[in-house]
Structure 1
């Protein structure tokens, strides 16, 4: 029995790592699908013009005469659906493989079930993305859902590695510093999704100014009107210029606030050996992500650079979760030698 338990844990550690990496690939393919305007390459779901494979033009015309078939976009959309289905199978495999271990002390069974629920919801959002014709609210939630799957896979992987090591370290309670940083990141990711779903990526020309002004004309109420009408085709967006500019400017301001929060977090924990390095990497990833954002504006959002910006958001999210894990499960005496004396009698978090 112990050998079987260890063997299952070993396979689960591998599978969750693969799942984490594969989720990132699925998200990048999804971003590519959106950036080449293939999100509605197939007007129905789960098939494409009623078929599991992209049909010929004659069949497509009979099925949806109002939506002409564009083979390239249809195949891009279907490719995204195929690999997303494989991701769903990976999650089911994790749950099935962990079923015999569900009553074992320390096994993260509830986390596995949470991952299963989230991937099911993510599939539903994928369907709504098509059936509601790229409604920005659903597109943004679909992006956040993908990140949730990614981070749950990664968190589960870390828990399984800890279970293999039979660690008994008590986790620290999350404090305000980490909570604020996490909230700032989630808000900024949501703003990024809102930017892309409303096609506001180049609503501001130039940097640091926007359209030649430090504070251009903004229509914030329309830009963040989250009860937009369901029904119109939102491909290429429905908002006017001032509303898109408002979305873009708020995204820039959100980036500044996130940067300040991450730097403050690093300053707070820079003397902790096991946390300083992960947080330094997180701050570096943030700086790289900011550079990619500026470059996207100045170069008019080229496809490859937009994909790198998406990859940067993924890396930044994983990096912060990793840093949080290092802090939460840090072993005693993890402070740097130079600061041990200072912290010896201090209760730190």
Structure 2
């Protein structure tokens, strides 16, 4: 799609800004989770019955009366509410994207609609994260929902970008193989992201202190029940409800998944390197993968430093976005080659 007029450019800028804002929301979500602020406000969408964190003595007294089991911790409450405010702002921008998309026939309709539906589901997951007191399956789904919004916004931006590069010189057979490889790679990266979310949601990030897998007896501790999405009902899932062996099982599978993902991403990077027009994506995949591995190792060696853990989350998202970009470019090139072949 070519941006031929001022309104189309404004639409493109709105999508681009929303994409940047969505990255901030994901980073803040990771920061909120890692600072144990997910229940900083025990209600939703307000905080202790107020629109903002209770500040005056009267407000704090009222909060204590209505929520005696969850004493107010102002810093955690502000972390949580800041995340909610910015996520709500993103929702308003996505609504604006839909309004602008449907006002112009030439603009994409499907991705804006999917974005709006995803934002609504994401808001419900945000509510359930609080009301179901950090139930792991909800926390993981909330993480995946945030990643989905980022990727959908990026795909929409790619659709709107001026001038797609022709890939007819690559050949339809290599493009077909690249397309299949890219789809498989996206699925593998998404699966690894989900495993990371499950690890975080069950507080299993620090149970293994040795590299490359885990402590020597992890095989004896392995328990497949750790991957049941529905847990027995608990008053709260904060700090985790699984036993040590189950958490080790989750962590080990996440590490093995990281090894598989490394092989798949490197293979995809090599396939991109073989095509000069795709080499920049090859560099991007290798750099992001290297950074993600370094951050993961640092998390283990330094016992999950806050800044490193947030960066690990965001870099994982960056790797997914890069893989989605490769898949989109290759898919567009394949369709373009098919059309060129017909004519």
**Per-residue CA shift, 1:194-246, capped at 9, x if unaligned?**
010001111101212523x2744333323112110244311110111111011
Tell me the equivalent position of 2:85: 82
> Among 214, 217, 220, which residue is 1:217 paired with?
220
Residue pair 1:8, 1:97 contacting (<8 A) in 2 also: no
Residue pair 1:143, 1:193 contacting (<8 A) in 2 also: yes
Which protein, 1 or 2, shows the higher relative CO under an 8 Å CA cutoff with sep ≥ 6?
2
Residue pair 1:60, 1:69 contacting (<8 A) in 2 also: yes
Determine the C-alpha separation between the residues in 1 that align with 2:65 and 2:288: 49
> Among 197, 202, 225, which residue is 1:198 paired with?
202
Residue pair 1:181, 1:261 contacting (<8 A) in 2 also: yes
**Per-residue CA shift, 1:14-64, capped at 9, x if unaligned?**
111111111111111111111111100111111111110112321111211
Tell me the equivalent position of 2:36: 37
Which aligned pairs between 1:104-115 and structure 2 lie closer than 5 A? 104=106, 107-115=107-115
Deviation at 1:84, TM superposition (A): 0.6
Tell me the equivalent position of 1:188: 192
Greater fraction helix: 2
What TM-score do the two structures reach when normalised by structure 1? 0.87
Label 1:253 to 1:320 Cα distance change in 2 as closer, same or farther (>3 A).
same
Tell me the matched-pair count.
Answer: 327
Which aligned pairs between 1:85-164 and structure 2 lie closer than 5 A? 85-101=88-104, 103-104=105-106, 107-162=107-162
Unaligned runs of 5+ in 2: none
Tell me the equivalent position of 1:236: 239
Tell me the equivalent position of 1:297: 300
Residue pair 2:204, 2:251 contacting (<8 A) in 1 also: yes
Tell me the equivalent position of 1:63: 66
Unaligned runs of 5+ in 1: 335-346
Determine the C-alpha separation between the residues in 2 that align with 1:273 and 1:75: 48
Determine the C-alpha separation between the residues in 2 that align with 1:236 and 1:158: 40
Label 1:332 to 1:272 Cα distance change in 2 as closer, same or farther (>3 A).
farther
Determine the C-alpha separation between the residues in 2 that align with 1:25 and 1:11: 21
Residue pair 1:28, 1:307 contacting (<8 A) in 2 also: yes
Residue pair 1:28, 1:311 contacting (<8 A) in 2 also: yes
Structure 1 residue runs of 4 or more that deviate by more than 6 Å after TM superposition = 166-174, 331-334
What TM-score do the two structures reach when normalised by structure 2? 0.89
**Per-residue CA shift, 1:267-303, capped at 9, x if unaligned?**
2332212212202311221121011101100100011
Label 1:269 to 1:75 Cα distance change in 2 as closer, same or farther (>3 A).
closer
Tell me the equivalent position of 1:19: 18
